[in-house]
Structure 1
């Protein structure tokens, strides 16, 4: 039964923020700094997705996996360790213990909110400026929706045991014996490699033909080849599942066919915006075919309304730094409404923490793009570290100005930042080459790609430029 829109108002505020995750916290801070009376609404106040079930616990698992992998690789350096024994219970206990510390830190920022600035409960719209929360009516001049997202689980796994998502996998008491990973996106590949390096039998499946959401086919092919040295990846396949006892049998067909039993299945097949309980119909917003409000990325405003969107719930760029930026933009504009001001968005940057890491930076390549390529199979520092594999492709326009890049290369998470900063500052390949490159470093690997761009663009090396290279850089 719909709420009475004329019912007595219990709480008045300037900006109500629905959701206390990364985007919601940023929105509340931004609105409060702009002078607004804020109200942060959440049904759990459980901490951010990043701290509790995303970035941090996954990196803790990856850290353990990389230690094990390093010991296995020690003989190539002439170092022979005793047999590696992996204590799965200790691994998972450390993941949860340190994860909980990160969550506690995130909760502290919520506890520091001024008195009366938070309300626990689920929110739903009565109309554009009224919400019902835990039996109370909230009137807000503006509203920021920052409700995050939840794992999407295919129907084929309905009702089965041992089906995991990123929200449950870190609660495992011990490592699984075998694991099927559904989804070859960033999360699926990160966890697949981590569990594989910890001794778990792992196979990855995906109906699509991409890995790590990479649009550059050469880099995607490179990354897949490197990862398949450690575990199998089946792309372009449809999967059917059946359960017998505590094991799950998967049968797949498409690019490859097969059948195998697993003790656990990790579903990493994307996430859906948490919008279904908000009663958006009463807010009068224009929704797309998936039920997500239409919004302007520069202002985060939904149409011409006083409602703003931020974070994973907008189904745009589900990464933490973008969620934080969107929250700040949405919160500031919600406080200023109707004086809306567009904000410049930062250079797109997405990183997958596999080994080697992969990354997409800036704009994808087009027909007119100049491309410089760096092959890390013979790169000096990479050979020293026995990590000499991978590739970087840097994009530029006809003047040599950097526009984007894609990579699957050692230290890629750091190299990606350097390229993103150069793009953000509007640098050309020549200007970046003018920066100092210490020897021997991974950063030197960028130089061959940058030189290729210079040789193809409307610039040339001056007489004082070194067009050669130190052997092996």
Structure 2
């Protein structure tokens, strides 16, 4: 078969048609430039296909089951609970396909001349070769290039011999029925969300972590409360190493070793690899760009402009391994596309206050500067305010009274710096606090805001009052009055 070779000249080439890539393409076009969107896999973002949307569909089903199980605590006694695994997964896939369809509609609206299917790799700083179907090779000469190649789940080396029962998060959403058992490797956001959802839907779940972390929490006090709260609902095994995995019929025989050196062999229908994701920067010829790379092979870049060094190449989304969540990918893609379009007139773009949410129960939210960042060497001392949700009024009303919120502020100015929490309605409290952080509000200004009663947000006010007391103690040596009962 004869290889078909074509040359294409464009202003901006975007490698990857996920959330970041689509945003970069649109931003470059808005600058009046000829942009080309290159995609080697299926269209449809990670979020819509295998990430935030299908996982929330599974979590919603788990929440419905859990509410029935929790109802007797209110004096309400439902009948026999039956979970139809096939119906659960059918709805997950049906609604997932709807979300993917919205993305595909958007891609279909892009002119065909602006889309190219195939795997792209650099052959020079401004040259890409795209290998497509039917042995086609397209050489793309681009004045500017945006790398938006996304990420893939990390493959755990000790699981390579486990057979087809070793799966990734994307494979979960292709199951036609709920399994009988599942081992989850990793206590990050993905592992905890999917592990808890499966457990609440009747699946026997064990979650293994090589360390003692929980999701994105870095505050040791919040981490302690989170470990206790989630551990009461889940079989979480911290300080456990994966030793080996081999096929066992249609399942997997998994060998693990705990901190004391004790090895345990168990059989699971599936072993879910949820130990994080790795940026897709290998195999794209990054070595031909002349860019300076970090230890993971990712180009060094300016997070305010997404520019790699002083070059004409920009990077966005999961490919830069900075903040691997959809809102950040969209922002980074827009900034990268804007600057690729106007290069060499590169300008800083809007980077919002960091906000990450895990949809576990209780929910986990972190925002602004993390506890770990604030404790870094050379950082000034900061004030902390704390509230427990165990006796918070609205939380007790809902039988969701567990968790902790810790808020941080700058001595002297009183400026709010960030927070970490696990607790009820964390997705909503997290947004309010993130807005305050981005607005550079002081703790006093935040306490001037309205709080209704009884609401879970009053817990945030209690934490802010404790933070205000710490700031005031440092400044004047006294503590203001405490909170009203039941907040």
What range describes the TM-score normalised by the shorter chain of this pair?
A: over 0.9
CA distance in 2, matches of 1:269, 1:442: 32
Q: Quick one: distance in 2 between partners of 1:9 and 1:253?
A: 54
Asked whether 1:223 is paired with 2:236, we answer no
Q: Which residue of structure 2 lines up, in the alignment, with residue 82 of structure 1?
A: 79
Taking the TM superposition and a 5 Å limit, the aligned residue runs for 1:61-460 are: 61-133=58-130, 134=132, 135-159=137-161, 160-243=163-246, 244-255=248-259, 257=262, 258-365=264-371, 366=374, 368-398=381-411, 399-458=413-472
> 3-state SS of the aligned residue for 2:418?
strand
Relative to the length of structure 2, the TM-score reads 0.92
CA separation in 2, counterparts of 1:65 and 1:432? 35
The alignment partner of 1:141 has SS state of strand
Contact 1:9 1:139 in 2 (8 A): no
Q: 2:41 corresponds to which residue?
A: 44
Q: Deviations over 1:278-314 (max 9, x none)?
A: 1112222212222111111111111111111101011
Give the alignment's TM-score, normalised by structure 1. 0.95
Distance (Å, rounded) in 2 between the aligned partners of 1:267 and 1:209: 17
| In structure 1, distance between residues paired with 2:471 and 2:245 | 56
How many residues end up aligned between the 2 structures?
Answer: 466
Mapped partners of 1:213, 1:325: distance in 2: 21
Task: Measure how far apart 1:9 and its partner are.
Answer: 6.5
For residue 472 of structure 1, what is the aligned residue in structure 2? 486
In structure 1, the partner of 2:378 is none
1:89-126: per-residue Cα shift (whole Å, max 9, x none)?
10001000000000000111111113411111111112
- Secondary structure of 2:169's counterpart equals coil
- What root-mean-square deviation, in Å, do the aligned CA atoms of Structure 1 and Structure 2 show? 2.0
Structure 2 residue ranges without an equivalent (≥5): 376-380
CA distance in 2, matches of 1:468, 1:131: 64
